[in-house]
A and B are shown apart, each in its own frame.
Chain A
Amino acid sequence: MTLLRHLAVAAVAGVALFFATYQLDPFRNYQLATAAAYLCAVAGLTVLVGQSGQLSLGHGALMAVGAYTVALLQNAYGTTGPWMLAVSLAAGALATTLVGAVIGLAAARLRGPYLAGVTLAVAVTVPAIATTFDEVFNGDQGLPVYVDPPPAALGRFFPNERWQAWLALAAALVTMVLLANLVRSRFGRTLRAVRDDEVAASLAGISVARVQVLAFVVSAACAGLGGGLLAVLAFSVSPSAFSLTLSLFLILAIVVGGLGSLAGAVWGSLLLVLLPQVTESVTDQLTLSPAVAQRLQGNLPLAIFGLTLIVVMIATPGGLQGLIRRGARALARAARGLATSLNRRKVGT
C-alpha cells in the first residue's frame, strides 16, 4: 500500500520534472542535475542522522569512494555498451556500501561527538589516500571520467545537460522511493526506537549495533550513488572536490532542510546548488569602485551565506520543512476556524 503510494508520487514527480527539463535552459538543467545528485547523498544522510541519530561528518569521503569507483570503471570499460553507465553507478554504490560497513562496524560503539570525530578524521583522509596511491588515483590532479554522449536516438542536437538531468533525476527518484519505503517500514520504526532510547530498544530485543551499522550502510550506498553521479556530471573527479567542506555542507543541507525529513532533503539539496549563486548575483548587483570590489568579491557572498544559515537556524529550528509544517498547521487551523464560523452562521446561532 505504502509502496504503491510512493511509486505514484514518484511517477507524478517524474513526469513533471521531465517536462521541466524541456523548459529550462542548459545551465539550469545542469543545476537541476547537480541538485539531484546531491539529493541522493543528502537523503541518505538525513535518514542516518535524523532517523537513527548517528552524526556523520564524513559523507563527503563516502561520495568520493563512489566517484572514484565510477571514474575508474568508466575509464576502463566505458565504451562497452549503453548499459555500462548503470553498471558503473551500481558498482560505485556497492563499493561505498562496503566502505560504509567497515566504518560503521568500527564506529558501532561510538556515540555523539566521538562518532563525529571519527567521521571527521575519515573526511580529511581523502586527499591523503589519493596521493599515497597516486598511480591509481593520480593524486591532487584527479582523473577525467569518460561518459558516453546521449543516445543517438534522441537526436543530434539533444543538449547533453538535459540528458544529464534525466540520469540524475531518475537515480534521485529511485533513491527517494526506496528511502521513503524504508522510513515507513518496520526497519524505520526500529531506527527511531534506537535513536530515541537505546536501552529501551535493546530491552525490547532489538540488536542496537546491527541496526546502527545497517543504517550507516544504507546511507553510505546513497552517498556512493550521489558521488558517482557528480563524477559523471562533471566529467572529472579530484580530491579537493570531495573535501571536508563538502561533508560539512551536506550537514548544513540536512539541518536547514529539516532534519530526518526526506522532503527536507529536497530543500537542502536545492539550497546547496542555488544559494551560492543567489548570493553571488546579489553582490553583482552592487556597483562599486574597483578597489572596494576587489575586497568584496568572493567574500561578501560568503558572509551572506553564513548569515543566512544562522538566521534560518535560529528562526526555524525544524529547518525549512519544519517551517512548512508550521505553516500548514496554521493554515489548517485557520481553514477549520473559518468552516466552523460559517457553519455556526448557517445554523443561526
Chain B
Amino acid sequence: MHALPDATRERRVVRRGLAALAVLALVTSAAACSDDGGSGPARADVPGVTDTEILVGTHQPLTGPAAPGYSKIAKATEAYFNFVNAQGGVHGRQIKYKIMDDGYNPANTQQVVRQLVLQDRVFAILNGLGTPTHTGVLDFLKAQGVPDLFVASGSRNWNQPDKYPHTFGWQTDYTVESKVMATYIKNEHPGKKVCHFGQNDDFGADSLAGVEQILGANALAAKETYVPTNTNVAPQVGALKAAGCEVVVLATVPGFTALTLGTAARLAYRPQWVVSSVGGDYLTLSGRLGPEGTPLLEGLVSANYLPSVSQTDDPWVQLFRKVNDEYNSGVEFDGNVMYGMAVGYTFVQVLQAAGRDLTRESLIEAVERGGFKGPGLTPFRYSPTDHSGYSGVRMVVTSNGVQTPVGSVYVTDDGDGPVTEYTEPPTTPPANGVPAP
C-alpha cells in the first residue's frame, strides 16, 4: 500500500477527530436535555400524579389529511378540564392534558406515546384517536401498565379485557350502531332496496356486519367500499345507482360522506342516506359542502349516542356551550367539541370515583365498577368483563337545516343480541357542571 501524502493523512485524521467529537457532543446533549415533568414533588410510586396535579396524555391527528374536525376534540377536552380546574379540580388536584400530534401516522404514534409514557411520565393515556394508530401502541401500554382509557374509535379492539386489561373504549362501537340503524331501516323503509358503502377497513366491515345481522346476510343489493387515499368515488356511487339502491347505509368519515353526497348529486342520484355517527354530524358536513351543497343534507338520517348540538334546550348542550364560550375561545360548537367535552366529563367522573388515594389500579377499578351517568343517551357497559363504552344510539333526522332526534334510544350488543328500546329518562348534569365525588 503506497503511503499517502502528508496533507491527505492530516486531513483524514482531523476529519475523523471532528466526526468523533460531533458524535460525542450529540450523544451527551441528547442525554442532557430531557423535559421536566409536572410541578410539585412527585409521588415515588404513581407516575404523573402529585399532590397538586394529574398529568394525562393523548395522541391526536392535529395535522395531515385526517386532522379536519378531529383536531378540535382534544382542545375541547382540555377546555372542560380547565373548567373543572377553575372550580378546584378533582380531590384538590388540577388536571393537565398533554396533547401530542401524530398526524394519523402509526409510526409517529409510536414515538409520541413513548415520549408521553417514558419521558413525560403521564398517569394515563386518554382518548387516543384512530384505529390503526392506537392498535399499534396497545402492547406497549400493556407492558408499561399504563391505563388506556376511552380510545377515540368505535372499533371492537378496545374491548378485550383478557388481552388488554387496561384498555377501554368509550363511544358506541360500529356494529352496535349499525344494528340500530338497520332496525330503523327495517321499520321505516320496509321492502326497499338497501345497500352499503363503507370504508375498506374494520370501520366499514363492522358496520356491514351489523346491518347484515339485522336485515339478513343476502339482503343488500350492493356493497361498495372506498379507500381514503382515492378521492374519486364516482365509480362506486355509479355502481350503487346502477343497482337501483333506494336506501344507502354509509360507513364513511365526514370528508367522504360529503364527497359521496356531492358525487351522487352530480349523477342525479338521490337515495335515502343513513350515515354512521362518525361521519353524520350536520355542522361538520355543512362546513365541507359549503352553502351550495348544504341542501343535499335534507332528509339525511344519522345516529348519535350524545345529545345533538342543535337541541338548545338540552341541559348537557347548554353546559358544554357555556364551557366552550369561556374556556375554548368560543370555537364553533359542533359534534366534535361536544364529543371532546363528554369524554372529559366521563374522565372526571372516573377520577372522582377513584378517590383521593389515586393510583393506576384504583383508576382501573373505578372504571370497571361502572355506573356512570351522562352525558350520553345510553348507559356504559363497563364491567370487569366488558371494556366497551356506550351501548346504543338514537336516530337523528335533518330537516330544515336542523338535526333533530327521532324515535327512542335503542341499545344492543355487538353480538347477536336483540335491539331493545331504552326507556330510562335522560340524565341531567350537576348544578356546577362538575361530577360529584
- Are A and B close enough to touch in the complex, i.e. CB under 8 Å? yes
The 7 sampled A-B contact pairs (Cβ below 8 Å) are A24-B30, A142-B106, A142-B136, A160-B143, A234-B110, A235-B140, A280-B101
Residue B114 at the chain A interface, CB threshold 8 Å: yes
A window 1-46: CB within 8 A of B: 1, 20, 23-28, 30-31, 34
Please determine whether A141 and B135 come into contact, CB atoms closer than 8 angstroms: yes
- Are A140 and B200 within 8 A (Cβ)? yes
User: Are B138 and A144 neighbours in the complex by a CB distance under 8 Å?
Assistant: yes
Q: Which of A128, A234, A277, A281 contacts B107 (CB 8 A)?
A: A234
A139: contacting residue among B1, B11, B63, B201, CB under 8 A: B201
Q: Is B10 a contact of A238 with CB atoms below 8 Å?
A: no
Total count of chain B residues near the partner, CB < 8 A: 53
A141 to B22, CA, bound (A): 40
What separation, in Å, do the CA atoms of A121 and B353 have in the docked complex? 54
Contacts of B131 in A (CB 8 A): 140-141
Partner of A236, one of B15, B135, B227, B329: B135
A329 to B140, CA, bound (A): 47
Smallest Cβ distance from A248 to chain B, in angstroms? 13
Q: For the complex formed, measure the closest distance between the CB of B4 and the CB atoms of chain A, giving whole angstroms.
A: 13
In the bound complex, residues from chain B placing their C-beta under 8 Å from that of A23 are 31
Distance in angstroms between the alpha carbons of A121 and B11 in the assembled complex:
43
Binds B, one of A82-90, A188-196, A207-215, A297-305: A297-305
The answer on a CB contact under 8 Å between A127 and B10 is no
Whether, in the assembled complex, A327 has its beta carbon less than 8 Å from a beta carbon of chain B, the answer is yes
Query: Are B139 and A290 in contact (CB-based, < 8 A)?
Result: no
Q: Which of chain B's residues have a CB closer than 8 A to the CB of A324? A: 15, 18-19, 22
Say yes or no: A294 contacts B106, CB within 8 Å.
Answer: no
- Which residues 165-182 in A have Cβ within 8 Å of B in the complex? none
Asked whether, in the complex, the Cβ of A25 is within 8 Å of the Cβ of B30, the reply is: no
Q: Are B132 and A142 in contact (CB under 8 A)?
A: yes
Q: Which residues of B contact A20 (CB under 8 A)?
A: 27, 31
Bound CA span A327–B18, Å:
8
Shortest CB distance B257–A (Å): 18
B139 lies within 8 A of A144 (CB): yes
| In the assembled complex, B111 has its CB within 8 A of some CB on chain A | yes
Q: Give the docked Cα–Cα distance between A302 and B136 (Å).
A: 24
Q: Is B14 an interface position by the 8 A CB rule?
A: yes
Contacts A26-B118, A331-B14; A236 near B7 (Cβ below 8 A): no
Q: B15 contacts A240, CB within 8 Å?
A: no
Min C-beta distance of A296 to chain B, whole Å: 10
SS class, residues of chain B in contact with chain A: helix
Which of chain B's residues have a CB closer than 8 A to the CB of A127?
A: 227, 229
* Given A141-B201, A160-B143; A238-B63 close (CB under 8 Å): no
CB distance from A251 to the nearest CB of B (A): 16
Contact A131-B110, Cβ < 8 Å, known A25-B118, A236-B139, A245-B105: no
A-B contact count, CB below 8 Å? 136
Return chain A residues, CB-CB under 8 Å to B196. none
Q: Of A236, A270, A299, which contacts B63 at CB under 8 A?
A: A299
A18 to chain B, nearest CB (A): 12
Q: How far is the CA of A297 from the CA of B223 in the complex (A)?
A: 39
- B15 interface neighbour in A142, A246, A276, A325, Cβ under 8 Å: A325
Q: Is B119 an interface residue (CB 8 A)?
A: yes
CB atoms of B136 and A27 under 8 A apart: no
* Residues A298 and B105 in contact in the complex (CB < 8 Å), given A26-B118, A274-B30, A332-B11: no
CB atoms of A297 and B101 under 8 A apart: yes
* CB <8 Å contact, B14 and A332: yes
Whether B202 is near chain A, meaning CB under 8 Å from some CB there, is: yes
Assess the A290–B106 pair: CB atoms within 8 A.
no
> What 1/0 mask marks residues of chain B from 136 to 157 whose CB sits below 8 Å from any chain A CB?
1111100100000000000001
Tell yes or no: A103 within 8 A of B by CB: no
Complex-state Cα separation, A131 to B198, whole angstroms? 14
CA distance A242 to B107 in the complex (A): 8
Q: Chain B's nearest CB lies how many Å from the CB of A304?
A: 13
Residues in chain B near residue A34, CB distance under 8 A: 111
Evaluate whether A241 and B27 lie within 8 angstroms (CB atoms) in the complex, with A142-B132, A236-B136 already known. Answer: no
Q: Cβ of B229 and Cβ of A28 under 8 Å apart?
A: no
Q: What CA separation (Å) do A144 and B329 show in the bound complex?
A: 40
Q: Which of B14, B26, B110 contacts A328 (CB 8 A)?
A: B14
User: A276 CA to B79 CA in the complex, in Å?
Assistant: 27
**Interfacial chain B residues near A246, Cβ < 8 Å:** 107
Cα of A33 to Cα of B29 in the assembled complex, Å: 17
CB contact list, A145-185 vs B, under 8 A: 160-161
Is B94 positioned at the interface, with any CB of A under 8 Å from its CB?
A: no
Tell me how far the C-beta of A176 lies from the nearest C-beta in chain B, rounded to whole angstroms.
13
Q: Cα distance A221–B300 when bound, in Å?
A: 52
Q: Which of A276-327 contact B (CB under 8 A)?
A: 276-277, 280-281, 289-291, 294, 297-299, 302, 324-325, 327
- Which residues 45-81 in A have Cβ within 8 Å of B in the complex? none
A109: interface (CB < 8 Å): no
Tell me if A243 counts as interface (CB < 8 A to partner B).
yes
Task: From known contacts A234-B136, A297-B99, A331-B18, infer whether A28 and B31 are also in contact, taking CB-CB under 8 Å.
Answer: yes
With a cutoff of 8 Å between Cβ atoms, the chain A residues found around residue B202 in the complex are 141
Contact in complex: B136, A238 (CB < 8 Å): yes
Residue of A nearest to B120 (CB): A27
Q: Are A290 and B329 in touch, CB under 8 angstroms?
A: yes
Q: Which of B47-102 contact A (CB under 8 A)?
A: 62-63, 67, 71, 75, 79, 99, 101
| B10 in contact with A290 (CB, 8 Å) | no
Are B227 and A131 in touch, CB under 8 angstroms? Answer: yes
Contacting residues, chain A, for B23 (C-beta < 8 A)? 266
Task: For B203, give the chain A residue with the smallest CB separation.
Answer: A140
Give the chain A neighbours of B34 by CB distance below 8 A: 25, 27-28
Q: Give Cα A144–Cα B132 distance, bound, in whole angstroms.
A: 11
Beyond known contacts A294-B71, A324-B18: 15 more, CB 8 A cutoff: A24-B31, A25-B34, A27-B119, A128-B227, A131-B200, A131-B227, A140-B132, A142-B136, A238-B136, A240-B105, A241-B105, A245-B105, A277-B111, A277-B115, A328-B14
Give the residue of A30, A270, A276 whose beta carbon is less than 8 angstroms from that of B118.
A30
Closest Cβ–Cβ distance, residue B205 to chain A (whole Å)? 9
Chain A residues lying within 8 Å of B10, measured Cβ to Cβ, are: 332, 335-336
A144 to B114, CA, bound (A): 17
* Residues on B with beta carbons closer than 8 Å to the beta carbon of A240: 104-107, 132
Whether B175 is near chain A, meaning CB under 8 Å from some CB there, is: no
